[in-house]
Structure 1
Amino acid sequence: MIDDELLDSLAHPTLSSGWLGQGRDASFAALAGELQAQPYLGACAIGLAGVEGYSHRGFIEACRAYPGMIPIAGCDPACDGSLEALRALRAMGFRGIKLHPRFSGLTRRLDSLAPLLRAAGDVGLVVFFCTYQHCGLEQYPDEDPFFTMVGLLREAPQTKVVLVHGGDVSVLRYAQLVRHNPRLLLDLSLTLMKFQGSSVDADLAYLFRHFDRRICVGSDWPEYSLGEVRARYEHFAAGLAPDKRRNIAHGNLLAFLGVDRASLSA
């Protein structure tokens, strides 16, 4: 039997149980039920600052009520950017923070995040950085967001960063950045699901075959069900050696976060 239960790198349970007015059940209980039904090892439960009643204390307490939830704080750069604030998040038990430039209105000012990124690394928080920069013209980046992001990462070379959504349609380009920088990990959430039937499928197949040590799989739940994501994982992982499947499914993410697998079932 192949040991390749998935560890979801990107799930969004909410304190309100709602999801952006879409009528989806984004409750912690619903996520826990899907994790058990599939089954998954667990999920990075990722908060979004200012969304669906998010608060640091409420979110981490909700995570603690369910096995397998790895708490990642929703970070508001305006409130949580200081060393003291980030140290407090680490002391609360958060493993990382989520930076969402679009939701924070910073798609054209990524360089302003450099002090926060450095401070996160200083206190031992992994940064989940959203690479999906597409938006309306008024906020669309003036320059190539890839190079702007590279400039930001260069300002915090010791910080571990998960590149959330893997650069979407530019996933191979982002993979090449990850290849040469061991403190980066490529997350395939959203990209794995959104571009089915496009040329991105060929890129994903290549990464599963040849880049298995540097990628992880997320759902962007509740946008996609865990079952749907598992099916896509199986599509791309078919025929891979057991060690490659294990790396992609959970091994890379566990090692990157420094999480003991046994702790997910405690």
Structure 2
Amino acid sequence: MIIDAYNNIWEASGTSDYLTAESYTPELILAHMDEAGVDMAVGCSLGQSIDNAYIASIVEAHPDRFIGFGQVNPRFPGAVETLRECARLGLKGIKLHPTLHGYHFADHGLLDPIFQAATEEGLVLLVNALDDPWCAPLAIEEISRNFPEAPVLIAHMGTVWNVTEALIVAERNPHIYLETSSTQLLEVQMAYKKLGPERIVMGTDWPGSHFALERAKIARAIPNEADRRLVEGENLARVLNLRTP
């Protein structure tokens, strides 16, 4: 099965010129998944507009196509309870977006309770980690190394300038994986050479990119078919304990 690790689905809210005023629906993403031969995809809310109940409703309507990840802002009171509610809704992971939500990742006071609760609930943690000072891979490691039973996906691999850190962190922490959306082809090739195929998961960050483009990048970076199967779905299925045909 082809399983994509990171995408966004939402209903329009507000009047912002950046993303949130327009809906990107399950029907639209499914059409693009089918076009590219993607069987299942992780779906999250935008960082700007968290709606965990909506994500859960999409999974309920399409359980064979979507894997729901919730989202919390650790700075908000009740963040841990929100995380536990995501687990009760049947969501399989939690997205964290330090840049949009205004916290540095190496903050034990904020993040330790989140990681502890995720460990207890059996949830995967997806960290939006584009190249910025809020969530450098070494900061992610500072928190996650104390919670090795909670798998972490470093979204975007820290591209551009933090990729080297991401490779170091993933190499020495077997519970940390690198997700490929927004990365350059060369960066995926670097990860494959340094880590092998077992620690990389394909993600698209739809609608920011399209599944066919991401699959073409992965095919170019990882020519070995068996290794590519790991990156395009088998690794994530293992991390999430998914039963696949």
Distance 1:30 1:253, change over 3 A: same
How much has 1:209 moved relative to structure 2? Answer: 4.6
Distance in 2 (CA, whole Å) between partners of 1:252 and 1:20 is: 36
Aligned AA (1:11): N
Aligned AA (1:161): V
SS across alignment from 1:179: helix
SS across alignment from 2:69: strand
Matched, 1:162 2:147: no
* Paired-residue identity, %: 21
Matched, 1:73 2:58: no
**Aligned ranges for residues 82-231 of structure 1 at < 5 Å?**
82=80, 84-107=81-104, 110-111=107-108, 112-134=110-132, 140-141=133-134, 145-169=136-160, 170-191=162-183, 195=184, 201-209=185-193, 211-231=196-216
Q: Partner of 1:245 in structure 2?
A: 228
Partner deviation per Cα, 1:94-117 (whole Å, 9 max, x = no partner)? 001101001111137643222111
Aligned AA (1:252): N
Q: Which protein is bigger by CA-based radius of gyration? A: 1
SS across alignment from 2:198: coil
Please list every run of at least 4 consecutive aligned residues from structure 1 whose deviation after the TM superposition is greater than 4 angstroms: 17-20, 22-25
**Aligned-residue CA RMSD (Å):** 2.5
Aligned AA (2:46): L
Q: Partner of 1:62 in structure 2?
A: 58
Kept in 2, the 8 Å contact 1:42–1:68? The answer is yes
Gaps of 5+ in 1: 135-139, 196-200
Q: Which has the higher contact order (CA 8 A, sep 6+)?
A: 1
Aligned AA (2:84): R
Aligned AA (2:38): Y
Q: Partner of 2:3 in structure 1?
A: 7
Distance 1:50 1:205, change over 3 A: closer
SS across alignment from 2:127: strand
Gaps of 5+ in 2: none
Relative to the length of structure 1, the TM-score reads 0.79
Aligned AA (1:215): I
SS across alignment from 1:11: coil
SS across alignment from 1:159: coil
Q: Partner of 1:137 in structure 2?
A: none
SS across alignment from 2:99: coil
Aligned AA (1:207): A
Distance in 1 (CA, whole Å) between partners of 2:102 and 2:172 is: 30
Aligned AA (1:256): V
Distance in 1 (CA, whole Å) between partners of 2:238 and 2:27 is: 27
Distance in 2 (CA, whole Å) between partners of 1:104 and 1:236 is: 33
Relative to the length of structure 2, the TM-score reads 0.86
Distance in 1 (CA, whole Å) between partners of 2:215 and 2:17 is: 24
Aligned AA (2:233): H
Q: Does 12-21 or 123-132 show the bigger shift? A: 12-21
